[in-house]
A and B are shown apart, each in its own frame.
Chain A
Amino acid sequence: MSIQIQNITKRFNGFQALSNVDITVPSGELVALLGPSGSGKTTLLRIIAGLDFADQGSILFNGEEATHRSAKERQVGFVFQHYALFRHMNVFDNVAFGLQVKPRRARPSKAEIRDKVHELLQLVQLEQLARRYPAQLSGGQRQRVALARALAVEPQVLLLDEPFGALDAKVRQELRRWLRKLHDEIHVTSVFVTHDQEEALEVADRIVVMNEGRVEQTGTPEEVYDKPANPFVFNFLGNVNLFHGRVHEGAARIADIGIDLPRQGEADGTAVVAYVRPYDIEINRTRQGADEIEASVLHIQGAGSVARFKLERLDTREIIEAELTRERYRELGLRTGEKVFVKPRNVRVFTADYQI
């Protein structure tokens, strides 16, 4: 089932939580709402679920007006960050809950409920724990029970609110891969909220980047990562170095480096900011050309898949972060305090009036 979010606006006692949000979630896709805390992503998810209602705008399910339907009528599966399991029921009863509260004529028979619950528990790999109570499960297991419970009523839409937020890093990684696999199997239209860009990039078909109640950019993970629409998206989707400069003779000048502007006609002297990812910083021991910046090595973290450098510009004392492959790191053999020449690649320039 597709979801259309049209022009949604929501205020909480003077705080603008969402302003004119438009998003379309195509049927069967897994979409991530990504943004920092306070960006309105959870509020939006709750409005989709019918747990909150917008001041303006409408929600359409499969093109059908659903704005004023209650949560009960919308038939969405909702997974809460803190699981919200019924602690006085065992795993089996938790999963069966949605089936057991159906009106008598729509309710499946006891045997059907049992089969369905066992099938779901198999899906979330918790069959052995059917008799346990939530207090006896680990965080990851509880979240899988919550997911099975939400899926039991065969929802048209699955909504997940920071589903892995309360779990430790390793379980989180495991569970998100598992969620992706699960989605590939059952293809239910899903929206999940996260503030973790890595999680969004890894799991989602499509990412909606949100900030201060607005949508900053929508696109596939590659699109938002490779072609960020603005500095906020650039910044939010990974580490980034900022270089401040000014427009000079129709080009941006950052230190001694000239870079083409994204649009023509900027007046000389306009402030610009250049964004460069740490892995697009090239480091050399000797000067290779004119368009390089001198810096000294402040700190090296050599363990891990890449070597991370912290450099200090000699002219402005600003910090530059760089990532080098292990081979390049060994080849250079740098130590802290040494002087190097830095050359940024793939620079994206935004004029400074577009502030973050």
Chain B
Amino acid sequence: MFNSAGKRNVLPGFGLTMGYTLLYVSLIVIIPLSAVFFKTASLSWEGFVEAVGSARVLASYRLTFGIALFAALLNSVFGLLSAWVLVRYRLPGKRIVDALVDLPFALPTAVAGITLATLYAPSGWLGRFLTPFGIKVAYTPLGILVAMTFIGLPFVVRTVQPVLEELETELEEAASCLGASRLQTFTRVIFPVLLPPLLTGFALAFARAVGEYGSIIFIAGNMPMVSEITPLLIITKLEQFDYAGATAIASVMLAASFLILFVVNILQWWSRRYSEK
């Protein structure tokens, strides 16, 4: 098949696995996604611009991508911290904490949304302590941030944790013998090794936050121009049977997400350039 030119490959099954991968990716990813673009193509250029460029839609892009980026950044910082604590220190109930990290994966997003909205409502368990300071979480963009941070938490922890576990303590000992301070050891020796998994975790958390719908609509308040996320707009269009308009917005989201993930991938490749053979 692929090696019919007489070149022999040591790893068997290249043709079969490659074919299967292509088929799988086509069925699951490429065909459904290209349908989005085909449907979008039924719009005229003016119709497309109107559908994706109205003030309300533009505001939702800013909100969705802006807060998703911010949430992913937050998760990167605190996920790194959590992974560090889980790997480096012995603490009681560590296994329980470790298991809790995965919970946002398992919880139905609507449940998460309702729970968060209840907790952070002005009269909720947490919200009531914030109200005196004039901080409103539920039904504001801040609520979206809380929900996006919640659902993105496991990604950074789970990507950084195994790399941190494999980091030899000898590296830190070597650095300290060479006269590096604790801070220098972290910034020059440990962090560069953690950067690639951190970027992966960031990208995953970001992608998840951009696509999140279920938990956010319960806490966001969904006010046009203020706290309305793009996925909600798409649903609204669908409910009005404006399929072409919905797919038009979806295709813009797809393109933007792809671009951002692509940039993160390049960054990641750059941060791992040392491992090339």
Contacts and interface: CB of A to CB of B under 8 A. Distances in A.
A135 interface: yes
Interface in B255-277: 274-277
Contacts of A89: 192, 274
A262 B113 CA distance: 87
B188 interface: yes
A101 B177 contact: no
Contacts of A322: none
B192 A88 contact: yes
A72 B275 contact: no
B274 A101 contact: no
Interface in B155-198: 168, 170-171, 173-181, 184, 188-189, 192-193
Contact of B180 (A50, A72, A134): A72
Nearest to A97: B178
Interface string B66-98: 000000000000000000000000000000000
Contact of A153 (B168, B178, B274, B277): B178
Interface in A117-138: 133-136
A72 B181 contact: yes
Nearest to A76: B177
Given A97-B188, A101-B178, A84 B168 contact: yes
A51 B178 contact: no
Contacts of B180: 72, 97-98, 101
A111 B189 CA distance: 23
Contacts of A84: 168, 170-171, 173-174
A148 to B, nearest CB: 12
Contacts of B189: 86
Given A82-B168, A82-B170, A88-B193, A51 B177 contact: yes
A70 interface: yes
A149 interface: yes
A133 B192 CA distance: 14
Contacts of B192: 88-89
A70 B179 CA distance: 10
B275 A71 contact: no
Given A86-B189, A133-B276, A98 B168 contact: no
Contacts of A50: 177
Contact of B178 (A134, A136, A149): A149
Interface in A156-211: none
Interface of A: 49-51, 70-72, 74-78, 80, 82, 84, 86-90, 97-98, 101-102, 133-136, 149-150, 152-153
Give the 5 A-B CB pairs with smallest separation, nearest first.
A98-B178, A84-B170, A101-B180, A84-B174, A78-B177
Interface of B: 168, 170-171, 173-181, 184, 188-189, 192-193, 274-277
Given A98-B180, A134-B274, 9 more contacts: A72-B181, A78-B177, A88-B193, A97-B178, A101-B175, A101-B179, A101-B181, A135-B275, A150-B177
